[in-house]
């Protein structure tokens, strides 16, 4: 599906039709005999993930560019240039990328300039650059690293823009900005659901030891887009756990980022591999409009003391094509299937900037996920 050829009315009609379809799992019970009362299994059979040491193919570590007060989206002057900040997305960078890119575009359209430099080539930089191109801007991306060597490439990349703000730093204006960005991104990603971009709809199962309670404020706001559905014990294969299900989009970074970068180049975009030591070097660029999508780099470049790295560590198993669902929990664990492997997580180590895997966390991730999937019905 080509995003530029679909109207908003088409999207709305499509969403209405897809949301009206209900799964008919209850009619698929097995082994039912006449005259016998049998409680049917009201879910499709899910493949058990094979969590074995010999199936581990790599471990990776990424640093989420978390900003305590939430992502920064504002314009300011940098000498005689206009500088638009678009960074600090924490664990929601891929999910929010098209949404905050749209907010940055709206600020760019308020200027007279149509030549832009985008700093950064992760998910946020790429989506911002593409939206600028689609509105007539000539765009050059300047970045130290390109896909597949960006932080975005390491992300699990489930569409669930959470871990983006500290609860005690939230404001009503940030919430409005967050919901606006989420809404645009949620709709835009639906137009990219195709093999070329590596975007698919998947069932997510949230697992907990106790009955689910409202968790983060972000989760409450996300109910507008991906509401959780509590499941009865016979509606899931996860035994003693309390389970809620949601259907959302999964993005495979290894495919997605390279494809969006190819789209950018096909549309006439230029890429320059370069690192900026300070703001003076940024101000010396020839473009009159600059969009800052540098993530953690903004802490040093622009003196943002609100920035904080959150270390995320993943264990990757050999691919298992029959696994087509995602698990979140219990206890901070998660599993996401990709073409390049089964992703097992995770960690959220605030303020930790080392890129070395922690063997204690590796053991926790592997043993926890092994116990979960071995107990599946």
Looking only at the bridges linking them, the beta strands covering 138-143 and 270-273 are parallel
Averaged pLDDT, groups of 10, the chain, 377 residues long: 40 38 34 38 86 96 96 97 97 96 98 98 98 98 95 88 92 93 96 97 94 59 81 94 94 96 98 97 98 97 96 97 96 94 94 95 97 94
pTM score of the predicted model = 0.86
The pair of three-digit structure tokens given for residue 313, joined into one six-digit string: 């560590």
Domains of the chain: 66-190+253-302 (3.40.50.1100)
Buried b / exposed e over 135-162, threshold 16 CB at 10 Å, is eebebbbbbeebbeebbbbbbbbbbbbb
Q: Which residues, in sequence order, are bridge partners of residue 199?
A: 251
Residue 15 confidence (pLDDT): 36
Q: Which two tokens stand for residue 112?
A: 């007279």
- Count of CB atoms within 10 A of residue 13's CB? 11
| Helix (H) or strand (E) segment spanning residue 9 | helix 8-20
For residue 254, which of 47, 42, 94 has the smallest C-alpha distance? 94
Alpha helices, DSSP H, located in the chain: 8-20, 93-109, 123-134, 151-154, 172-190, 217-222, 253-266, 279-283, 297-301, 359-374
Locate tokens 């003076």: which residue? 280
pLDDT of 226: 82
Tokens of 319: 């691919």
């Amino acid at each position: 599906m080509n995003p530029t050829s679909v109207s908003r009315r088409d999207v709305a009609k499509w969403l209405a039709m897809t949301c009206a379809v209900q799964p008919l799992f209850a009619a698929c019970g097995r082994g039912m005999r006449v005259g016998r009362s049998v409680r049917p299994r009201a879910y499709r059979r899910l493949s058990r993930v094979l969590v074995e040491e010999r199936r581990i193919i790599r471990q990776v570590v990424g640093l989420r560019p978390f900003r305590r007060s939430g992502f920064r989206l504002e314009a300011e002057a940098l000498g005689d240039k206009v500088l638009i900040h678009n960074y600090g997305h924490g664990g929601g960078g891929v999910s929010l990328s098209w949404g905050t890119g749209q907010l940055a575009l709206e600020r760019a359209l308020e200027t007279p300039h149509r030549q832009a430099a985008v700093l950064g080539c992760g998910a946020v930089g790429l989506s911002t650059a593409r939206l600028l191109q689609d509105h007539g801007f000539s765009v050059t991306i300047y970045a130290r690293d390109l896909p597949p060597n960006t932080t975005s490439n390491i992300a699990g990349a489930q569409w669930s823009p959470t871990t983006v703000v500290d609860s005690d730093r939230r404001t009503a204006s940030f919430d409005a900005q967050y919901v606006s960005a989420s809404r645009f991104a949620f709709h835009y990603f639906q137009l990219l659901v195709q093999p070329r971009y590596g975007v698919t709809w998947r069932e997510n199962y949230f697992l907990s030891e106790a009955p689910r309670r409202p968790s983060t404020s972000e989760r409450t706001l996300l109910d507008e887009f991906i509401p959780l559905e509590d499941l009865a014990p016979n509606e899931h294969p996860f035994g003693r756990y309390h389970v809620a299900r949601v259907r959302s989009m999964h993005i495979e970074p290894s495919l997605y980022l390279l494809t969006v970068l190819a789209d950018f180049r096909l549309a006439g975009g230029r890429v320059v591999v370069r690192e900026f030591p300070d703001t003076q070097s940024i101000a010396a660029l020839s473009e009159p409009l600059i969009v800052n999508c540098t993530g953690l780099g903004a802490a040093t470049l622009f003196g943002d003391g609100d920035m904080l790295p959150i270390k995320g560590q993943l264990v990757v198993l050999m691919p298992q094509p029959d696994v087509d669902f995602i698990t979140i929990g219990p206890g901070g664990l998660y599993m996401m299937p990709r073409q390049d492997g089964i992703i097992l997580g995770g960690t959220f180590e605030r303020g930790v900037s080392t890129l070395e895997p922690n063997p204690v966390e590796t053991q926790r991730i592997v043993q926890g996920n092994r116990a979960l999937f071995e107990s599946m019905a």
